[in-house]
Amino acid sequence: MKIAYFDCFSGASGDMLLGALLDAGVDLATLEAELRRLPVAGWTISAGRTKKKGIAATQVRVESGEHHPHRGLSEILKLIEAAAGAGLSRRAATLASRIFTRLGEAEAKIHNTTTEKIHFHEVGAVDAIVDIVGVAIGFEMLGIEQFFCSPLNVGSGRIEAAHGILPVPAPATAELLLGAPTYSSGIERELVTPTGAAIITTVAKSFGAMPAMTVSKIGYGSGTADLPTQANVLRMFVGEALAHGLASAGPSACDETIAVIEANFDDLNPQVYGYFAEKALEAGALDVFCAAVQMKKGRPGQLVTLLSPLDRTDALTELLFRETTTIGVRTHQASRRILAREWVPVETQHGTVRMKVARANGHILNAAPEYEDCRRIASERGVPLKQVLADAAFAFQKRTSGRE
C-alpha cells in the first residue's frame, strides 16, 4: 500500500502541502488542467524552486483578482460538485468536500452557529479553494491510500484576521487539531493554518513517529515566510508500507479496517436510491452498491450496502435513515486490501487520458483508462467512447512495453 508521512516541524498550510506534492512528482500542467474544471475564473497557479535555510523546496503561488469573498459552505460544495460533473474524479471531489465540511463544522462550533450559516472569509477565497481541491487531486495522482503525520509545530503569538486580532493557533485551527499532538518551538508566527489543519486532520490515520515504510519519493513544500531559526518547509515522505503491505507474509497482512453498513428494502424508489448514492459518496462513502434479494413472504427487494471509513460510520448511517425508508441498519467491520494505485497520464490522438495503474511489489497488475476522461473526450471530439478507451489502453501498453 502506498502511504505518505507528513513531517510538520514548521507547521502546515495548503500551499506547503501542494508544494510538497509537486516536489514529490505531481505534474503541474496535469494538476492545473484538473483544477480548471472548477467553475471559478480569474486565478493562476505557478510553482518554482526556492531555498529555506539551505533546503531546496517547491513554492506554489495561487493568485486571483478577487478580495476574499464571503462564500458559504454550501456554495463551495456546489463548486466542487460542478467540477465533478465536468470530469473531476469523484474521489478527489469527495475528499475536497470532506475537508471543507470539516472546516465548516469547526468554524460553526467556534461561532456557536450552524454550518448552513457559516460564511468563510480567507478560506472562502479562490486561492484557498484551489489549494484544497489541488491537494485532493495531488493525493490521487500519487496513488496515496493512507496518511500519517508527525506532531505539528503550531507557532505562537498573534495574527490579524477578518474577526480582528487572534491568538496562535487561531480558534478554528485549535478546534481542528483537537486530539492531534501539537507543540510550539517558540517562533512567533502562525505555522499551522486552518486550511492546513483541515487537510491534515481529515486524511491522517494517526499521528506520531514515521511508520515503517520503503520511501520512494520525498517532497519539500515551502511556505512564504522566512523563519529566523529553521526552514519554513513541510516535508512529505511517500512510499510503500512495510507493516501492512502486500509484501508482508501471513494472514494479518490486511491494509485497513472499514465499516460495512447495510439495509434491506422492499419499498425503495429507484430514483431515491440514485440520489442517495450520490449523497453518500459526497459524504465520504468509499463505495455504494445495490443487490437484488428475496425477502420474507417471497417479496423481491434490494440490499443497499455502503463501505465507509470508520470515522464516517455515524454520519453515513444517519444519512441512510434520513434519505431512505429504512427503519433498521446493520453495521460491521471488515478488512480491506488495496493495491497501491497511481494516475499515469498518456497521450492519445484525441487528447490526454489518465490511466489508473495498480501495483504490487513493484509490478503493474492492472491498468485502466479513467472513464470520466474518456467520456469527456468522446463527447467533445465526437469519437466513439469505446475507441477512446481502446486508444488509451494501447498508448499505455506501448509506453510500458518492456518495462514496468
Same domain, 226 and 264: no
Q: Is the pLDDT of residue 14 over 90?
A: yes
Report yes or no on 127 lying in a domain.
Answer: yes
Confidence grade of residue 375 (pLDDT, cut at 50, 70, 90): very high
Q: Can you give the pLDDT at residue 247?
A: 39
Mean pLDDT, rounded, of the chain:
89
- CATH code, domain with 331: 3.30.70.1380
Q: Can you give the pLDDT at residue 388?
A: 95
Q: Is the pLDDT of residue 127 over 90?
A: no
Q: Write the pLDDT tens digit of every residue in 226-275.
A: 999 999 999 999 998 874 443 333 333 346 788 999 999 999 898 899 99
Which amino acid, 336? R
Cell 492545473 maps to which residue? 32
Q: Can you give the pLDDT at residue 245?
A: 40
Given 336, 353, 387, which residue is the final one in a domain? 336
Report yes or no on 249 lying in a domain.
Answer: no
Average pLDDT on 34-48 reads 94
- CATH code, domain with 383: 3.10.20.300
Confidence grade of residue 382 (pLDDT, cut at 50, 70, 90): very high
Report yes or no on 380 lying in a domain.
Answer: yes
Same domain, 347 and 332: no
Q: Can you give the pLDDT at residue 252?
A: 30
Do residues 355 and 344 lie in contact, with contact meaning Cβ atoms separated by under 8 Å?
yes
Average pLDDT on 204-218 reads 90
Report yes or no on 364 lying in a domain.
Answer: yes
Q: Can you give the pLDDT at residue 163?
A: 67
Given 311, 336, 361, which residue is the final one in a domain? 336
Confidence grade of residue 305 (pLDDT, cut at 50, 70, 90): very high
Same domain, 134 and 223: yes
Half-sphere exposure of 216 (CA within 13 A, CB side): 16
Q: Can you give the pLDDT at residue 342?
A: 78
Report yes or no on 44 lying in a domain.
Answer: yes
Q: Write the pLDDT tens digit of every residue in 102-116.
A: 998 888 888 888 877
Q: Can you give the pLDDT at residue 125?
A: 78
Q: Can you give the pLDDT at residue 111?
A: 83
Do residues 306 and 260 lie in contact, with contact meaning Cβ atoms separated by under 8 Å?
yes
Burial of residue 260 (CB within 10 Å: 0-12, 13-18, 19+) is: middle
More confident residue, 166 or 5: 5
Same domain, 202 and 282: no
Q: Could you tell me the residue range of the domain that residue 378 belongs to?
A: 342-400
Whether the link from the prior residue into 369 is cis, omega within 30° of 0, is no
Residues linked to residue 290 through DSSP beta bridges, in sequence order:
304
Report yes or no on 130 lying in a domain.
Answer: yes
**CA–CA distance, 87 with 374 (Å, rounded to integer):** 10
Same domain, 378 and 320: no
Same domain, 141 and 227: yes
Same domain, 285 and 172: no
Structural domains in the chain (count):
3
Given 187, 212, 241, which residue is the final one in a domain? 241
The DSSP result for 112-130, as a single string, is TS-TTT-B-SGGGSHHHHH
Same domain, 149 and 55: yes
Report yes or no on 113 lying in a domain.
Answer: yes
Same domain, 273 and 133: no
Average pLDDT on 37-55 reads 94
Same domain, 276 and 217: no
Which amino acid, 86? A
Confidence grade of residue 343 (pLDDT, cut at 50, 70, 90): confident
Q: Can you give the pLDDT at residue 66?
A: 64
Percent of the chain with pLDDT over 70: 93
Q: Can you give the pLDDT at residue 244?
A: 42
Same domain, 111 and 140: yes
Residues linked to residue 55 through DSSP beta bridges, in sequence order:
52
Same domain, 65 and 211: yes
The DSSP result for 65-130, as a single string, is S------BHHHHHHHHHHHHHTT--HHHHHHHHHHHHHHHHHHHHHTTS-TTT-B-SGGGSHHHHH
User: How big is the chain, counted in residues?
Assistant: 404
Report yes or no on 148 lying in a domain.
Answer: yes
